[in-house]
């Protein structure tokens, strides 16, 4: 089987999402980080609880699938999900992953005061959005075109007042939807360069191995097979747009025969439908791990 | 007097290379496990190498072995490939085994090709149409080594390539007669091949592959996915083009628009009384959607560029129609098929992703460099043609005493694509891609001057009838719907164009839009096609939804 | 979900009601009824938001070519402009062929 495993970032979290996580793994992580994971809606307001919680959930699911003999040929993490992706493809070790993620969350939490965040524009090309952004952006009121989740969906990152201006321009120029997102940090823009530099320094002492398959990089949208590019993505992706649509287009060129969507949430339904049609897909957010294992094994047997 | 020149340098170099692997060969046969060693010894740095990535057949075993060679020994290869289809075809550039690529089609790897050109890891010589690339293999891209795939090979090295012969003969010939080295991966070594497609004399090394070569059913279209819009357009095309111009020979570019036409011949074509009057002769892959028309007596002959997975038994049972050898299996040939497509056809019908306001079309969009494949050849007017047929002659301009006919080149598109973006645009994405990909010219698939007809859900624009670019643009605007191009159309102009027969709406052709329903298709689904074929067609697993 | 309303000048009165298409994914339903008004009115319910301008363009083009005088009710489930045009012109044809 040539399976594409996709790991979402923040957005789909909910209270109780950790209930099926392997208890031994959870305890190990909590001890290692000296952190009790509360798994409540209130707790998920805190960056560290949120990011470590999501990665714990994904790592637990990865371990379970691998224990039943399944493995990915391609991995695609979105933002935070890149860490689970690097783990799943064999580049990053489990015990290196969690301290990294905790530190990332701490750095992000303190990085920006109120007044910064993200937005989204739907129904315009990236070029069109970039033209509007260029009209508004200034050093005092920065705004950038950031994540590209599908061809006609471009995110904005920066100062909220500047984002609001771009949103208004977009609506005037025929965008179907243009609005702020509930994200309090200007992620995936040059404004996060400081955090990226600090993460990069941390990664220097983390041993990474050659991916055992294809790792799809956020910051370039490229398929990578070598450690330096994986490392660059893990540290740098916060300061660059997530070129998710390009990642999916390249993944398509590798002709996967199945897609496994990891928790939490199902944020990529539309772009996956556009790129892959009715290719076999499973969603760990909706199915138990054992059901997913059953289906993937069944499809593998049925393949010519 | 200068020293005598050595006129046999290629021959000597080849002999030396082959002697370096003599201990690994039994006659011409090698062991599967020695494949890497053989490639490392026979391919020199900087060599021109053809790797058989055909449209459908891929020398997948040799492709993987090539990607595993030691870059310290084999590097800076100049690849010549008709189709960049597999991930390894690009991995060899990332890993320093190859540095330059001349190719034709890159559809299956279009995103990665674009990325690698942009970041400099892939240097492109040029992009070609298939026939053009084959032609250069005899002129300025003469290969040093060719890596091809065969079904069965006998112990002398005679090759049987069968239904999926495709471009193997032209690739092998270009090497065999200029001291290039011919390396073949074989599905099977047999005592006797069913027929000899390529003689052993032309072959140097045969390596049994570890699994059968990759083969894709690229031309199979499930009738279930044909939409009413495509049916309406198909009806208009049959009435307004096939019938009107008395078309006798045709190529259908792959797609649902042409699949719809194929399935409308036995029903709508029959209603119009056209059976026996149009399209007896075809140059096209053995696409399953042609089965009802064949069984109903519409078709006299089909020559094919390649095979189609699942059609083998049906073809073998219809040797009057297809090009079947004395052994009972088909032989395809892409080079001859493209030649036929150029000079021997009345008409090419295809589809595209974008058409500009002037009628130029392209499948290249931002970030996806899909290359050209066969369309620029099939969709161009051969000015070297001299023989006249009714359809070709019907396009002769009235006002030129030295005039001659023209090949019908038809583009069929809906005004908006499935992503709700307009197909008709003021300027092609290809203009930007030319800069991104550092190409000499804008990668246009089919030029406006070669496009004789455009069909959309609104009607037909008979571009060949226009007498100026302004008139050509107006004709396009009349059928370009509510795209930015179409919105420039004005009712007075449209009425005038209709009156002069330059634009036709369905009602002008006598086509009834309410008749454009799926029940008009001769087959509604794959199961129907199997029934039409009397059980001889065997759809590949991915098209079987009922078993 | 959006409700749109349009008026168009029209001259060709229709003799009786007509109903074309279905509210299936990618499709739409066009219901035309005779009217005593002096211009055509159109009430559109669509599942895709933000396409008012495109609807306007499609309808203007349709009425330029086929100035049918009627009350239109259109229920749309994400049809492309090409499919919208198909259903409208099928409705026009159904009336002409009676």
Each residue's pLDDT tens digit, A5-16: 999 998 889 999
Look at phi and psi of residue B96 and say left if phi exceeds 0, alpha if psi is from -120 to 50, else beta: left
Asked if the model's pLDDT at residue B547 lies above 50, the reply is no
Read out DSSP for A104-166? HHHHHHHH--TTEEEEEEESS-HHHHHHHHHHH--SSS-EEEEEEEETTEEEEEEEHHHHHHH
Beta carbons of C53 and A174 less than 8 Å apart: yes
Beta carbons of A253 and B115 less than 8 Å apart: no
Euclidean distance between CA atoms A53 and B109, whole angstroms? 37
The number of residues in chain B equals 547
The pair of structure tokens assigned to B286 is 């053995």
Residues of B with CB under 8 A from a CB of A: 87, 91, 94, 108-112, 115, 119, 367-368, 419, 421, 540-541
Asked if the model's pLDDT at residue A271 lies above 90, the reply is no
Backbone angles phi, psi at A200, to 5 degrees: -60, -40
Euclidean distance between CA atoms B303 and B321, whole angstroms? 8
Euclidean distance between CA atoms B530 and B510, whole angstroms? 33
Residue A249 to chain B, least CA–CA distance (Å): 6
Backbone angles phi, psi at B90, to 5 degrees: -105, -30
For B377-423, write each residue's pLDDT tens digit: 999 999 999 999 999 999 999 889 999 999 999 999 999 987 778 99
**Secondary structure of residue A240 in the 3-state scheme:** coil
What contacts 24+ positions apart, CB below 8 Å, involve B22-30?
B25/B205, B27/B155, B27/B156, B27/B157, B28/B156, B28/B157, B28/B200, B28/B203, B28/B204, B28/B205, B28/B206, B29/B155, B29/B157, B29/B189, B29/B206, B29/B207, B29/B208, B30/B205, B30/B206, B30/B207
| CATH, range B223-351+365-394+405-421+429-466 | 3.40.1080.10
Euclidean distance between CA atoms C62 and C6, whole angstroms? 13
pLDDT band for position A243 (cuts 50, 70, 90): very high
Euclidean distance between CA atoms A143 and B236, whole angstroms? 50
CATH homologous superfamily, domain B24-215 = Glutaconate Coenzyme A-transferase (3.40.1080.10)
Query: Which residues, other chains included, contact A281 with Cβ-Cβ below 8 Å and sequence gap of 6+?
Result: A258, A259, A260, A261, A272
Asked if the model's pLDDT at residue A304 lies above 70, the reply is no
Q: Which residue has the tokens 């609880």?
A: A49
Burial level of B74, CB count in 10 A (0-12/13-18/19+)?
buried
Residue B497 to chain C, least CA–CA distance (Å): 13
Taking only residues 266 to 285 of chain A, the set having a beta carbon closer than 8 angstroms to any beta carbon of chain C reads none
For B169-226, write each residue's pLDDT tens digit: 999 999 999 999 999 999 999 999 999 999 999 999 999 999 988 888 888 999 999 9
The dihedral through the CA atoms of B105, B106, B110, B113 has a sign that is: negative
Partners of C53 on chain A (C-beta within 8 Å) are 174
Residue C16 to chain A, least CA–CA distance (Å): 37
What is the predicted pLDDT for the residue at B376? Answer: 97
Beta carbons of C49 and A175 less than 8 Å apart: no
What contacts 24+ positions apart, CB below 8 Å, involve B101-104?
B101/B125, B102/B78, B102/B126, B102/B128, B102/B133, B102/B136, B102/B141, B103/B79, B103/B127, B103/B128, B103/B133, B103/B371, B104/B128, B104/B129, B104/B130, B104/B132, B104/B133, B104/B371, B104/B372, B104/B373
The pair of structure tokens assigned to B135 is 């032609």
pLDDT band for position B119 (cuts 50, 70, 90): confident
How many residue pairs bridge chain B and chain C with CB atoms within 8 Å of each other?
51
pLDDT band for position A249 (cuts 50, 70, 90): very high
Report the residue of chain A nearest B547, measured CA to CA: A302
The 8-class DSSP code of residue B197 comes to: S
Query: How large is the C-alpha radius of gyration of chain B?
Result: 25
Partners of B418 on chain C (C-beta within 8 Å) are 80
Euclidean distance between CA atoms B380 and B450, whole angstroms? 5
Find out whether C62 and C22 touch, Cβ atoms under 8 Å.
Answer: no
| CATH, range A3-111+190-302 | 3.40.366.10
Beta carbons of B112 and A253 less than 8 Å apart: yes
Q: Is A173 part of the contact surface with chain C (CB cutoff 8 Å)?
A: no
For A173-228, write each residue's pLDDT tens digit: 888 899 998 888 899 999 999 999 999 999 999 999 999 999 999 999 999 999 99
Burial level of B178, CB count in 10 A (0-12/13-18/19+)?
middle
| CATH, range A116-181 | 3.30.70.250
For B10-51, write each residue's pLDDT tens digit: 999 999 999 999 999 999 999 999 999 999 999 999 999 999
The number of residues in chain C equals 98
For B329-373, write each residue's pLDDT tens digit: 999 999 999 999 999 999 999 999 999 999 999 998 888 899 999
What is the predicted pLDDT for the residue at A284? Answer: 93
The pair of structure tokens assigned to A47 is 């960056």
Out of B91, B119, B541, closest to residue A304 by CB: B541
Q: Is A177 part of the contact surface with chain C (CB cutoff 8 Å)?
A: yes
Query: Which residues, other chains included, contact B2 with Cβ-Cβ below 8 Å and sequence gap of 6+?
Result: none
Q: Which residue has the tokens 């189709």?
A: B83
- Name residue B371's beta-bridge partners: B105
The 8-class DSSP code of residue B200 comes to: G
Out of B415, B486, B512, closest to residue C93 by CB: B512
The CATH number of residue C55's host domain is 3.30.230
Strands (E), C1-98: 2-9, 12-13, 18-20, 28-33, 39-46, 68-69, 71-76
Residue C20 to chain A, least CA–CA distance (Å): 28
- Name residue A155's beta-bridge partners: A120
Give the start-to-end residue ranges of the domains of chain A.
Answer: 3-111+190-302, 116-181
CA B438 vs CA B269, B355, B435, B459: distances in Å: 47, 22, 5, 37
Q: Is C89 part of the contact surface with chain B (CB cutoff 8 Å)?
A: yes
Interface test mutation site (partner C, options A152, A174, A274, max chain C beta carbons within 10 A): A174
- Please tell me the total count of domains within chain C: 1
What is the predicted pLDDT for the residue at B546? Answer: 56
Read out DSSP for B266-335? IIIIHHTT-TTTS--EEES---GGGHHHHHTT--SEEE-SS--TT-HHHHHT-TTTS-B-TTSSB---HH
Whether the complex's predicted ipTM is more than 0.90 is answered with yes
The whole domain housing C35 covers 2-96
The pair of structure tokens assigned to C58 is 């499609």
Chains in touch with A (3+ beta-carbon pairs under 8 Å) read: B, C
Q: Which residue has the tokens 């007097």?
A: B1
Provide the 10 A C-beta neighbour count for residue A304: 6
Backbone angles phi, psi at A85, to 5 degrees: -60, -45
Beta carbons of B367 and A255 less than 8 Å apart: no
Beta carbons of A302 and B541 less than 8 Å apart: yes
What is the predicted pLDDT for the residue at A114? Answer: 80
Interface test mutation site (partner B, options C48, C80, C88, C91, max chain B beta carbons within 10 A): C80
Find out whether B218 and B332 touch, Cβ atoms under 8 Å.
Answer: no
Report the residue of chain C nearest B423, measured CA to CA: C82
Asked if the model's pLDDT at residue A101 lies above 80, the reply is yes
Sequential pLDDT tens for chain C (98 residues): 889 999 999 999 999 999 999 999 889 999 999 999 999 999 999 988 778 889 999 999 999 999 999 999 999 998 999 999 999 999 999 998 76
Report the residue of chain A nearest C51, measured CA to CA: A176
Chains in touch with B (3+ beta-carbon pairs under 8 Å) read: A, C
**Is the link from the previous residue into A264 a cis peptide, with omega within 30 of 0?**
yes
CA A61 vs CA A17, A283, B277, B516, C56: distances in Å: 12, 11, 64, 50, 50
Beta carbons of B109 and A274 less than 8 Å apart: no
Q: Would the pTM of this model clear 0.95, i.e. be above it?
A: no
Provide the 10 A C-beta neighbour count for residue B15: 12
Find out whether C20 and C89 touch, Cβ atoms under 8 Å.
Answer: no
Provide the 10 A C-beta neighbour count for residue C2: 14
What is the predicted pLDDT for the residue at A173? Answer: 86
Q: Is C65 part of the contact surface with chain B (CB cutoff 8 Å)?
A: yes
Find out whether B451 and B411 touch, Cβ atoms under 8 Å.
Answer: yes
Query: Which residues, other chains included, contact B3 with Cβ-Cβ below 8 Å and sequence gap of 6+?
Result: none
Instruction: Provide the percentage of residues in chain A whose pLDDT is more than 90.
Output: 74
The 8-class DSSP code of residue B543 comes to: G
Backbone angles phi, psi at B539, to 5 degrees: -60, 140
For A67-85, write each residue's pLDDT tens digit: 999 999 999 999 999 999 9
In the Cβ-directed half-sphere of B17, how many Cα atoms lie within 13 Å? 25
For B47-79, write each residue's pLDDT tens digit: 999 999 887 888 999 999 999 999 999 999 999
Mean of pLDDT values over A127-151: 94
CA A237 vs CA A82, A187, B451: distances in Å: 9, 9, 46
Find out whether A246 and B111 touch, Cβ atoms under 8 Å.
Answer: yes
Partners of A174 on chain C (C-beta within 8 Å) are 53
Listed in order, the ranges of chain B carrying CATH 3.40.1080.10 are 24-215, 223-351+365-394+405-421+429-466
Mean of pLDDT values over B252-267: 96
Mean of pLDDT values over B80-102: 95
The 8-class DSSP code of residue C37 comes to: S
Average model confidence (pLDDT) for chain A? 92
């Amino acid at each position: 089987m040539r399976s594409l495993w996709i790991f979402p970032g923040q957005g789909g979290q909910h209270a109780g999402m950790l209930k099926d996580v392997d208890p031994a793994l959870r305890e190990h992580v909590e001890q290692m980080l000296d952190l009790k994971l509360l798994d409540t809606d209130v707790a998920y307001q805190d960056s560290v609880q949120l990011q470590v919680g999501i990665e714990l959930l994904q790592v637990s699911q990865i371990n379970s699938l691998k224990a039943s003999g399944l493995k990915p040929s391609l991995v695609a993490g979105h933002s935070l999900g890149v860490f689970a992706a690097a783990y799943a493809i064999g580049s990053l070790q489990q015990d290196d992953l969690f301290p990294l993620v905790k530190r990332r969350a701490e750095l992000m939490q303190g990085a920006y005061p109120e007044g910064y965040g993200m937005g989204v524009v739907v129904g315009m090309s990236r070029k069109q959005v970039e033209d509007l952004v260029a009209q508004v952006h200034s050093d005092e009121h920065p705004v950038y075109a950031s994540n590209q989740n599908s061809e006609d969906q471009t995110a904005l990152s920066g100062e909220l007042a500047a984002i609001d201006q771009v949103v208004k321009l977009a609506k005037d120029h025929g965008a179907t939807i243009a609005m702020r997102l509930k994200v309090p940090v200007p992620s995936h823009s040059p404004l996060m360069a400081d955090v990226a530099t600090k993460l990069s320094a941390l990664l220097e002492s983390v041993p990474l191995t050659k991916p055992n398959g294809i790792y799809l990089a956020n910051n370039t949208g490229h398929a990578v097979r070598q450690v330096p590019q994986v490392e660059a993505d893990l540290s740098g992706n916060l300061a660059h747009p997530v070129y998710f649509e390009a990642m999916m287009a390249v993944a398509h060129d590798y002709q996967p025969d199945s897609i496994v969507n990891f928790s939490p949430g199902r944020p990529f339904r539309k772009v996956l439908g556009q790129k892959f049609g009715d290719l076999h897909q499973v969603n760990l957010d909706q199915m138990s791990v054992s059901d997913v294992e059953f289906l993937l094994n069944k499809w593998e047997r049925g393949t010519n | 007097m200068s020293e005598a020149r050595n006129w046999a340098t290629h021959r000597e170099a080849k002999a030396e290379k082959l002697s370096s692997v003599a201990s690994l060969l039994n006659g011409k046969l090698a062991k599967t496990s020695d494949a890497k060693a053989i490639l490392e010894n026979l391919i020199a740095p900087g060599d021109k190498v053809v790797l058989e990535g055909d449209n459908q057949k891929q020398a997948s075993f040799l492709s993987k072995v090539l990607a595993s060679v030691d870059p310290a020994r084999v590097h800076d290869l100049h690849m010549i490939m008709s189709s960049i289809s597999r991930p390894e075809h690009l991995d060899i550039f990332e890993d320093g085994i190859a540095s330059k690529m001349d190719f034709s089609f890159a559809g299956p790897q279009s995103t990665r090709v674009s990325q690698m050109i942009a970041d400099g890891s892939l240097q492109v010589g040029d992009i070609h149409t298939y026939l053009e690339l084959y032609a250069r293999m005899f002129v300025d891209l003469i290969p040093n080594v060719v890596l091809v795939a065969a079904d069965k090979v006998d112990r002398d090295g005679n090759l049987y390539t069968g239904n999926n012969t495709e471009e193997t003969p032209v690739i092998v010939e270009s090497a065999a007669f200029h001291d290039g080295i011919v390396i073949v991966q074989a599905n099977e070594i047999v005592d006797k091949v069913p027929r000899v497609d390529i003689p052993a004399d032309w072959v140097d090394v045969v390596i049994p592959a570890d699994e059968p070569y990759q083969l894709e059913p690229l031309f199979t279209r499930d009738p279930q996915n044909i939409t009413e819009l495509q049916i309406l357009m198909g009806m208009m095309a049959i009435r307004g083009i096939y019938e009107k111009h008395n078309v006798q020979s045709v190529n259908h570019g792959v797609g649902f628009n042409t699949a719809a036409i194929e399935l409308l011949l036995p029903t709508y074509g029959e209603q119009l009384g056209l059976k026996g009057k149009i399209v007896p002769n075809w140059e096209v892959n053995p696409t399953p959607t042609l089965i009802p028309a064949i069984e109903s007596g519409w078709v006299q002959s089909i020559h094919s560029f390649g095979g189609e997975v699942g059609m083998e038994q049906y073809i073998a049972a219809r040797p009057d129609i297809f090009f079947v050898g004395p052994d009972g299996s088909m032989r395809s040939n892409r080079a001859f098929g493209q030649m036929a497509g150029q000079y021997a056809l009345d008409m090419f019908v295809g589809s595209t992703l974008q058409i500009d306001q002037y009628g130029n079309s392209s499948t290249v969009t931002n970030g996806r460099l899909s290359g050209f494949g066969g369309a620029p050849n099939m969709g161009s007017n051969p000015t070297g043609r001299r023989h006249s047929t009714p359809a070709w002659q019907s396009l002769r301009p009235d006002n030129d005493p030295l005039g001659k006919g023209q090949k019908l080149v038809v583009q069929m598109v809906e005004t908006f694509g499935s992503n709700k973006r307009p197909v008709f645009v003021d300027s092609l994405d290809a203009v930007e891609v030319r800069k991104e990909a550092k190409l000499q010219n804008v990668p246009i698939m089919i030029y406006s001057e070669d496009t004789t007809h455009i069909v959309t859900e609104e009607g037909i624009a008979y571009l060949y009838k226009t007498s100026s670019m302004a008139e050509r643009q107006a004709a396009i605007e009349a059928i370009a719907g509510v795209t930015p191009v179409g919105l420039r159309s004005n009712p007075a102009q449209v009425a005038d164009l209709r009156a002069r027969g330059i634009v036709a709406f369905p009602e002008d052709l006598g086509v009834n839009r309410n008749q454009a329903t799926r029940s008009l298709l001769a087959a509604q689904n794959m199961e129907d096609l199997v029934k039409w074929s009397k059980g001889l067609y065997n759809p590949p697993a991915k098209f079987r939804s009922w078993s | 979900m959006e409700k749109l309303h349009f008026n168009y000048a029209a001259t060709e009165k229709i003799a009786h009601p007509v109903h074309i298409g279905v509210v299936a994914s990618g499709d739409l339903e066009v219901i035309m009824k005779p009217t005593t008004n002096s211009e055509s009115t159109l009430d559109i319910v669509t599942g895709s938001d933000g396409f008012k301008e495109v609807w306007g363009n499609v309808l203007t083009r349709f009425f330029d070519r086929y100035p049918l005088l009627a009350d239109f009710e259109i229920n749309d489930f994400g049809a492309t402009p090409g499919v919208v045009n198909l259903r409208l012109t099928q409705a026009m044809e159904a009336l002409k062929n009676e």
